[in-house]
Chains A and B, each alone.
Chain A
């Protein structure tokens, strides 16, 4: 079975500072990795995904993530955050099979202060 751990439930940061949201996963088979963002009272929006190839993945809104197979991690980074980045961020995995149900972490609340 697969599992996802997001160690930080909340990350406070000042505007224009860099941020890293941590994600570790557990799986005995190859997985696809995703980061989704949820703004207040909205659905989930895909930030970026890793399926194969380059381990550094660039997404929308200036976010990027690096897949590290040896450390089973997929941390999300942004060099300079904005107030508008305040949201809940979810890391998720799926197994490459005929079903790609997503298994989510518990989420990290990013709070950007002016």
Chain B
């Protein structure tokens, strides 16, 4: 158990819908990262937040957005869903950015039908 929690574990929805994935980092960790794992794209970095502010953006679609709240939990919002958005979405956390270990949550498996 990494200490990072993600809800829900599984999500099945239809094309065009909007979903919200939630992540609670390890106690004391200020930085949160979101990654997408899919068969065709592999593991890709989406976005990073540090202490409530966006720190870095990766290959995140405009239909996707995220935020980190004052209690440091984070949410990833996916809208206008397409079949290709089906993937495993991981959240990770670390104390601060800069070479330290990132602790990964168990992931949310999103299936878009």
Contact = CB atoms under 8 A, between A and B. Distances in A.
Interface of A: 32, 36, 42-46, 49, 51, 90, 94, 96-107
A104 B42 contact: yes
A99 B97 contact: yes
A107 B102 CA distance: 18
B48 A99 contact: yes
Interface in B33-90: 33, 35, 42-45, 48, 55-56, 58, 90
A98 B98 CA distance: 6
B28 interface: no
16 contacts: A32-B99, A43-B4, A43-B105, A44-B90, A44-B92, A46-B101, A46-B103, A97-B98, A100-B94, A100-B98, A100-B99, A101-B33, A102-B35, A102-B92, A103-B45, A104-B44
* Majority-rule SS of A interface residues: loop
Interface of B: 2, 4, 33, 35, 42-45, 48, 55-56, 58, 90, 92, 94, 97-107
Nearest to A107: B42
A3 B95 CA distance: 25
Given A100-B97, A102-B102, 10 more contacts: A36-B104, A46-B102, A46-B103, A49-B101, A99-B55, A100-B94, A100-B99, A101-B33, A102-B33, A104-B44
Given A94-B99, A106-B42, A101 B2 contact: no
Contacts of B94: 100
Nearest to A105: B42
Nearest to A36: B104
A103 B106 CA distance: 19
Contacts of A101: 33, 45, 48, 56, 58
